[in-house]
Amino acid sequence: MSKLKSCFICSLLFVVFCPSSGFFGSGDSFRRKVSVEVNPGLTPPSTLPPGVHLVHVRALGQNDTLHFLFCNQGAPSLLLVHTNTTESTVHVNWPEFINRSSSGGLQVEPQSSVQYSSALIITRLWEYSDVNNTADPQHTSESSFYPPYELQDFIWSEFNQSDHRIRICGGDRTAASFTNGTFCLQISAFESEGRESAWPGLLHNSNSSQLRVSLEGVTARVNYSRFSLELQSVGDSGFLGRVDVHRSIDDEYTPSIFKVSQWVSLPVNSSRVWGYAQWKPVAYRKSSPVTEDATPCSHTEPIPMARLPPSALIQAYFSHGPQTYGLNVSFGIAGDAFYNATNYLSWTVLMGVGDPPVDSFSVFIICIMAVGLGTPLVLIIVGVVFLWIRKRTSQSSGYEPIN
């Protein structure tokens, strides 16, 4: 019986301690007041080129404010500015901003309140011919690569705003590939913690916003085409960029994906993470995917870039020697179907300040495990006590005649 008990104690300990790393540490759960403004303060005669927008999302906390700025003049970019006051505002000098003449066209004021700023820019869309089906662009000969689509040359046609979500689509109108296809970006801002129901269902909190990139109906230039995205991040000087890949045991929100990649930025002489771009290494080949439409993606190590990316927003905001890093995210794995199998790819990244959100088990799983392991335990205790009492009583009754 003691062997049996120790077994159960072991399994109980197992359940209590093993998931503990997952149970706690989910980030801020407070709410922010989110408001969205398109082209703040833009008045004629200043006009933006057709299809170009500057979106300002203001997420007001109890004693701080997050400004998310998205602009598609030049390469599309998402800028995040964290200020330690609730009074901070975004000021755009429109003529300067439109002319992209110098830095300072867009400022967050008061400037002293700015704690941290960082931007994520999508600069290029690479296409390469993967004849050997290895899905490894780093080891694919340069001759297999087609001239990349420069996102700064894209013409943006579609712009939708609903609530805290903006969708914007465009394409390279000089290329035949985009006659029926579009490159779409969807930016979502969040008031509080949660996750989208659509895969990959990244956990977000009020300190983050999500960017979904999708490549819809683009004609591949060759049958064996695969794509990869060139991303750049621009941050304040004194910050380092690093991509960490964490293994996770929890794939309930993103079936069969057990990893999460985090491009964190942290001060040179500190280990505290100030901001991040987080994604799961998976892309989906259909707009409403099932498991087999998932395709893994991989990234290269970030490398420092000499020049700022060609984005109006970045050029207007960053002035004091910002740091730029770049990396490629490529889609597909050896042996996987090529792009033209579905003519669709979507990939999602979360950008925010503070520590990246950490997935934890759903309440459902915790409840199931508690019931599943608790029931036999209770049964065993009750049963053993019952048998023991029965044995005692039968023994004592057995002795009675002797007395």
Partner 1 sequence: MADSGQRRSLLKEDEEDEDVSANMSPLCDPRHLLHRILVLIFMCFLGFGSYFCYDNPAALQTQVMQDMNLNTASFMQLYAWYSWPNVVLCFLGGFLLDRVFGIRLGTIIFSLFVLIGQIIFAAGALADHFWLMEAGRFVFGIGGESLAVAQNTYAVSWFKGKELNLVFGLQLSMARLGSTVNMNVIGWVYGRIQMMMGSAGHTTLGITLMISASTCVFSLTCALVLGFLDRRAEKILHKEQGKTGEVIKLTDVKHFPFSLWLIFIICVAYYVAIFPFIGLGQVFFIEKFGFSSVQARAINSVVYIISAPASPVLGFMVDRTGRNIMWVLLAVVTTLLSHLMLAFTLWNPWIAMSLLGLSYSLLACALWPMVAFVVAEHQLGTAYGFMQSIQNLGLAVISLAAGAILDTKGYLFLEVFFIICMCCALITVVLLYLYNSYTEGELNLSASTRARRAKALSESSEDAGRLHSCQQSVNDQEHMKPLSPFGLRNRYLSRLGVQDKFPIVQLRGSSLREEHQD
Look up tokens 């120790």; give the residue: 6
CA 19 centroid distance within chain? 23
Taking the C-alpha atoms of residue 80 and residue 235, their distance in angstroms, rounded to an integer, is 10
Residue 386 near partner 1 by CB under 8 A: yes
Closest approach of Cβ 215 to partner 1, in Å?
A: 21
Element (H, E) at 367: helix 363-399
Lay out the site mask for partner 1 across 133-172 (x = CB under 8 A, - = otherwise): x---------------------------------------
CB 271 within 8 A of CB 297: no
Closest approach of Cβ 383 to partner 1, in Å?
A: 4
Angle at which helix 363-399 crosses helix 2-17, to 10 degrees, equals 160
3-class DSSP state for residue 191? coil
Residue 255 near partner 1 by CB under 8 A: yes
Closer to partner 1 by CB, 19 or 104: give it.
19
Residue 30 near partner 1 by CB under 8 A: no
Record the tokens describing residue 252, joined without a space: 């309930």
Query: By rule CB under 8 A, what count of residues binds partner 1?
Result: 42
Taking the C-alpha atoms of residue 27 and residue 39, their distance in angstroms, rounded to an integer, is 31
Residue 365 near partner 1 by CB under 8 A: yes
Subset of residues 274 to 293 that bind partner 1, contact rule: CB under 8 A: 290-292
Taking the C-alpha atoms of residue 312 and residue 53, their distance in angstroms, rounded to an integer, is 11
Residue 387 near partner 1 by CB under 8 A: yes
Taking the C-alpha atoms of residue 17 and residue 14, their distance in angstroms, rounded to an integer, is 6
Residue 111 near partner 1 by CB under 8 A: no
Residue 25 near partner 1 by CB under 8 A: no
Task: Tell me the window of 40-48, 121-129, 228-236, 245-253 that interacts with partner 1 (CB under 8 A).
Answer: 245-253
Record the tokens describing residue 210, joined without a space: 């999500």
Task: Tell me which residues touch partner 1 (CB under 8 A).
Answer: 3-4, 7-8, 10-11, 14-15, 18-19, 133, 247, 249-258, 290-292, 335-337, 361, 365, 368-369, 372-373, 375-376, 379-380, 383, 386-387, 390
